[in-house]
Amino acid sequence: MNSQRAGLIAICAALVADQFSKTIVAMYVDRLSDGLPVFPGFNLTFLRNDGVTFGLLGDVPWWALTLIAFAVCGVLAVMLWRTTRCVEAVAYGLIIGGAFGNIVDRLRFGAVTDFLDFYVGNTHWPAFNIADVAIVSGAALLFVPEKFSRRAQT
């Protein structure tokens, strides 16, 4: 499989997984608004974040954050198109797909749906979603050394 195809599959997988999970969460918003304990240290919840990571930039209009995300996706798409490393293409694809998932939320709701709530004691990590997982996973994949990845055959 060439690297661009792998990247496109990663975009689609991240976007579909994110939007599907958010649709399921939205169906149970009444049960999740106060948090639903799953196991010690993890709740499902329902929040709308109008900022970015950790709620930063919450005072910036949603449309401005959306434009910035589109611009970043454009740059990453060029990088995806140019790479010959499959792992790198998948990494860019995960980041783009996750960003698109959050863009869809901003366009629909003016904010991003977050529902994964991890905590220790009374200290909660800021809630996040599958798009955020895809973005962080993609960024981590970019650190995979080239010796552990193979070049795509063109």
Candidates 18, 105, 117, 132; catalytic one: 132
Q: Rounded to an integer, what distance in angstroms lies between the CA atom of residue 149 and that of residue 145?
A: 7
Residue 129 has a CB neighbour count (10 Å cut-off) of: 24
The Cα–Cα gap between 137 and 68 comes to 20
Check if 132 is active-site: yes
C-alpha 144, offset from chain centre: 19
DSSP tally for the chain: helices H, then strands E: 5, 4
Long-range contacts from 60-63, C-beta under 8 angstroms, 24+ separation: 62/106, 62/110, 62/111, 63/106
Considering the candidates 18, 105, 114, 117, report the single residue annotated as catalytic. 114
| Amino acid occupying residue 146 | E
Catalytic residues: 114, 132
